[in-house]
Amino acid sequence: QKEVEQDPGPLSVPEGAIVSLNCTYSNSAFQYFMWYRQYSRKGPELLMYTYSSGNKEDGRFTAQVDKSSKYISLFIRDSQPSDSATYLCAMSAGGGSARQLTFGSGTQLTVLP
């Protein structure tokens, strides 16, 4: 079983919909939680960064971390066709391993006009 499981599989939504992306993990040492967006043939782009549990909001994006359930989420409000991309959750432990990211497999999102 992978340390980080990302759910759901490929997702297609109409423009303006609220999108919910989720990941679960098994390693209780993880303290740093990130969401990256990756467009085709590009490197991942950091969207949200959260330390430990809690919520963080940035414009149309909200990240939630529930360490007790080992569950993280990314919500996208008022989704736009330009949000169509692959979304990757990533996480790491603290200290010297803070930059050793473990990624989920990614969710491919398509927002239809």
Partner 1 sequence: KAGVTQTPRYLIKTRGQQVTLSCSPISGHRSVSWYQQTPGQGLQFLFEYFSETQRNKGNFPGRFSGRQFSNSRSEMNVSTLELGDSALYLCASSRRLAGGERSTDTQYFGPGTRLTVL
Chain residues in the site for partner 1 (CB under 8 A):
32, 34, 36, 41-46, 49, 51, 88, 90, 94-106
CB 28, min distance to partner 1, A: 18
Cβ-based nearer residue to partner 1, 44 or 74: 44
CB 35, min distance to partner 1, A: 11
Cβ-based nearer residue to partner 1, 41 or 113: 41
CB 90, min distance to partner 1, A: 8
Q: Which amino acid is at 25?
A: Y
CB 17, min distance to partner 1, A: 26
The three state secondary structure string of the chain is CCCEEEECCCEEEECCCCEEEEEEECCCCEEEEEEEEECCCCCCEEEEEEECCEEEEECCEEEEEECCCCEEEEEECCCCHHHCEEEEEEEEECHHHCCCCEECCCEEEEEEC
Cβ-based nearer residue to partner 1, 19 or 106: 106
